Amino acid sequence: MLKAGPLVFFRCQAIESLHGGRKSEQLHRRSNEGCVKLRSMRLGFSGVVIAGLSGLIGATLGCSSTERADFASAGAAGVSGVNGAGAGNLVGASGSSGAMFNGCPEHPTPQRTQGSLLSMPLHVFLQNQAFAFGQRNALSDGGSVVPLNFRFYISEVALQRKTGESVTVDVLTAAGAPAPYGVHLFDAEEPNSSTLRVLAPAGDYAGLSFALGIGLACNQLRPDRTAPPLTTDSQMTWPHSGGFLFLRYEGRNEGADGSADAGVAATIPSMVHMGGSIAQELVPRVTVAGAFSLSSNSPREKALNVIMDDLFAAATSNLDVSDMSLAPGAEAIAGERLRRSISGLSVFQLEPG
């Protein structure tokens, strides 16, 4: 028998940031007064699947788009008593999240204990110039943009041999240990995060591929019960119950006359929030071509460039994303356009040589 615990509701308060962490200059106060929000759901279950309850509640309350995202994500994930695959961020009778089934362990089993260290410094460019975080970056039209928040996850890294074989590799920390959850968080504000490191076998390679974000099992983890980089401190949490953002960008645009957003916003968005779902696998995969070789137990460095021109072009395209299951703000629409396009773009490029 399924036993449902009490549903506790509270009045939504005005918020300044949708995703927690420090305030950004581009995050606007949004008042949600009058919106009743689902605060917690405690379910005990035995072999029975409930799906959509939270989504139904959110849809009928007339909440803001971000709050409907909370409900829809939680409802779409459902709760499964069979294998926990849909448990998402809802907590069952055991007090553990769906991640208790270990689909995304904090300490993943290493692919190998020996190999060659490949270090890939992440260099960010806009209009063929280094994109300086927190500084005024001049644009060719006389305007400027100041990036205030730029971060993204990389996981599931694989190197592509020239023979076509894909070789899964371990993501490492700066100390050389396997990265928690096999995930690297790039944060433009933290120099220590600016290099992606992997341990790989020697050989000749034609490029690499990776998930720009995190897989479904990791996305279903609760950020209040995990270790970095999958915590609220990452500033990558999707609105409560919606998993994590895969990529987050915020900036301040100025026209040539110094006015905010004058003529710039059409090609450079002030906000891009790319996320997925805790109900299905939506993380995009990126393939980066570029030949390189690794020698046995010999470290190698090869820069991985991030081309913001292509990222912004995808985010501001006219791609129709009206079939999105949620009703998010402009930042999430930009992110969804990017998510659907990025696998076919050259946002990431290996430096020649």
pLDDT value at residue 165: 96
Interval 240-246 mean pLDDT: 81
Interval 242-268 mean pLDDT: 83
pLDDT value at residue 180: 98
Whose tokens are 């020996």? That residue is 114
Task: Work out whether strand 49-50 and strand 79-80 pair parallel, antiparallel, or are unpaired.
Answer: antiparallel
Contact at 8 Å (CB) between 326 and 275? no
pLDDT value at residue 261: 61
pLDDT value at residue 168: 98
User: What's the rounded Cα separation, in Å, for the pair 148 and 271?
Assistant: 10
E strand map for 178-230: 183-187, 195-200, 203-212
pLDDT value at residue 297: 80
pLDDT tens-digit profile of 193-214?
999 999 999 999 999 999 999 9
Reported confidence tier of residue 247, pLDDT bands at 50, 70, 90? very high
Q: Residue 13 gets which letter from DSSP?
A: P
259-265: list long-range contacts, CB under 8 Å, 24+ apart: 262/143, 263/141, 263/143, 264/139, 264/141, 264/143, 264/144, 264/145
C-alpha torsion 339→330→138→29, nearest 10? -130
- In the chain, where are the structural domains located? 3-101, 116-350
Interval 267-290 mean pLDDT: 95
Q: Which of 286, 259, 269 is nearest to 335 (CA)?
A: 269
pLDDT value at residue 41: 35
Q: Which two tokens stand for residue 101?
A: 């089934």
Sign, Cα dihedral of 185, 219, 211, 200: positive
- What secondary structure does DSSP assign to 75-130, as a single string? HHH-EESSS-TT-TT-B-TTS--GGGG-SS-SSPPPS-SS-EEEEEEEEEEETTEE
Close Cβ partners of 254 (under 8 Å, ≥ 6 residues apart) = 136, 143, 144, 145, 146, 260, 261, 262, 264
pLDDT value at residue 90: 32
User: What's the rounded Cα separation, in Å, for the pair 106 and 103?
Assistant: 10
Q: What is the CA radius of gyration of the chain?
A: 21
Examine the pLDDT at 333 and tell me if it is beyond 50.
yes
What backbone phi and psi angles, to 5 degrees, belong to 250? -145, 140
pLDDT value at residue 82: 30
pLDDT tens-digit profile of 125-150?
999 999 999 999 999 888 899 999 99
Reported confidence tier of residue 241, pLDDT bands at 50, 70, 90? low
Which range, 47-51, 217-221, 236-240, has the best average confidence (pLDDT)? Answer: 217-221
pLDDT tens-digit profile of 77-128?
333 333 333 333 333 323 333 334 579 999 999 999 999 999 999 999 999 9
Amino acid at 236: M
User: What's the rounded Cα separation, in Å, for the pair 298 and 112?
Assistant: 15
The mean pLDDT value of the chain amounts to 77
Contact at 8 Å (CB) between 183 and 230? yes
User: What's the rounded Cα separation, in Å, for the pair 155 and 221?
Assistant: 15
User: What's the rounded Cα separation, in Å, for the pair 298 and 319?
Assistant: 45
Examine the pLDDT at 63 and tell me if it is beyond 50.
no
pLDDT tens-digit profile of 160-196?
999 999 999 999 999 999 999 999 999 999 999 999 9
User: What's the rounded Cα separation, in Å, for the pair 136 and 144?
Assistant: 6
User: What's the rounded Cα separation, in Å, for the pair 251 and 146?
Assistant: 5
User: What's the rounded Cα separation, in Å, for the pair 29 and 105?
Assistant: 36
Close Cβ partners of 90 (under 8 Å, ≥ 6 residues apart) = 41, 43, 54, 74, 77, 79, 97, 98, 241
What backbone phi and psi angles, to 5 degrees, belong to 167? -115, 110
pLDDT tens-digit profile of 32-53?
333 333 333 333 333 333 333 3
